[in-house]
Amino acid sequence: MTAELATPESSEMDRLHTIFANQKKAFEAERHRPIEQRKADLKKIEDMVKARADDFAAAIDADFSRRSAGETAVAETGFTIATAKHTRQHLSQWASAKKKPVPMTLAPGKAYVRREPKGVVGIIAPWNYPMQLALAPLVAALGAGCRVMIKPSEFTPRTSELLREVLGELFSEDHVAVIEGGPDVAAAFSSVPFDHLFYTGSTHVGRIVAKAAAENLTPVTLELGGKSPTVIAPDFDIAEAAKTIAWGKFLNAGQTCVAPDYALVPRGSEQAFGEAVMSEADRMWPNVAENDDYTAIVSERHHTRLTEMVEEARKSGATVLQADFEASKAGNTRLFPPTVVINPSRDLQLMQEEIFGPVLPVLGHDGLTDAARTINEGDRPLALYIYSKSPRTARGFLAKTMSGGVGVNVPMLHLSVEDLPFGGVGHSGQGAYHGEYGFLTFTHERAVFEAPVWHPSRMIQPPYGKMFEFFKKLQA
């Protein structure tokens, strides 16, 4: 291609393939990066995030047109630091060979599992938590000893540029590299024959990524989403439940994959619960138009989609509760106020798609069996939240349903427990990470059996005779 015809997208695609080739060569030259060097890699990320926290907050704020600095500190920088520290502290244990018992019929011998890096891996990160969801998988991959290429979202260009800058200062491109660009670059990235591909984003795009990876038989981890339900049992006070559900729903303006997507409450309490949620939203984010703690919607297209969802519900006759909001005071930010929709019809867009915004549909249920039936009629969600005073009741409800993860009496916090796997099931994803589960995602567990120079197995080779019959009796 001539220089005159080259475009930023085509140049980045050329860079993508060059870096992949260089990382493959680098991995072959150092297939087993020493554990202490891996720990040093993680410490560099930890220190960088601490040093550049304000820069990341400013970049994300600019990308969203308003992103709460407090939310960035908790959900992005603080989360990433904790992940890097936890992985670094446990890495030696995770990476050690795991001894396995040898059956009597195969003795003497040693059996163990070697935990080895898969090689060169790709990470496709989304826009909703553009720092955390790029760096947390990176931590897991580097801990496993892999080489890593990251494709951030084009919807958060300033954060993507900052990621490329800071990681370029810490690592050579044949170790860690950031590839920027739009959908064409993302499609090319998905088609690279990585040793593992890690994607976080929508179910729709996840299908496309999985198909592209399948052409190369590349294993994939898909961290998707879906309509995560929140259920209030009859024994739980709805006003008390509203305190944490409002926080979980409206954090990051609902742009969180594990945010409560809709609520199922005891029939007859829908209006009271909706009003309680709105009261809590007003307490936490008063005057949302001018409140810097309330985050904007990432793009005009997404803002329009949310507006159309709510207007469709309103026209259908559903009751819509919405925080007081003067758009003129919001400046040029893409704000969407906290909203509750009471008893929307199941055929509305609001109930057919993951909302991914600050809109909470509230529906009635006729008991937990009815609530479970409603949930099970849809795709398996990424998260499920059950509120009950009785642990037995809550656990009984879990036995009737399936989801990627669960929160009992609180939303979202299960993903902050480093030793719990985070991932979906069915349409909400496949594979998991966080803690050791993340390390294992990018690790090949290699089975090894070591026999002495002479092993009794020679005695059961053909021609089969009395010794073979003896070994058959041992196995009976």
231 bridge partner residues? 264, 386
Q: With the C-alpha atoms ordered 138, 44, 166, 21, is the resulting torsion angle positive or negative?
A: negative
Using CA atoms, how far apart are residues 63 and 55, in angstroms rounded to an integer? 12
Q: What does the alpha-carbon distance between residue 436 and residue 469 come to, in Å, rounded to a whole number?
A: 45
Strands 262-266 and 229-232 turn out to be parallel
Q: In what order do the strands lie in the sheet containing 383-387?
A: 319-322, 339-342, 359-365, 262-266, 229-232, 383-387, 405-408
Task: Give the residue numbers marked as catalytic.
Answer: 223, 257
The closest of 452, 343, 360 to 109, measured between CA atoms, is: 452
Omega prior to 108 cis, within 30 of 0: yes
For residues 104, 107, 109 and 115, what is the CA-based torsion angle, rounded to 10 degrees? -20
Q: Is 298 helix (H, G, I), strand (E, B) or coil?
A: coil
Residue in 18, 26, 17, 14 with CA at minimum distance from that of residue 146:
26
Cα 425 to Cα 166: distance, rounded to the nearest angstrom: 34
Helix, strand or coil, per DSSP, at residue 342: strand
Tell me whether residue 135 is exposed, middle or buried, using C-beta atoms within 10 angstroms of its C-beta: 0 to 12, 13 to 18, 19 or more. Answer: buried
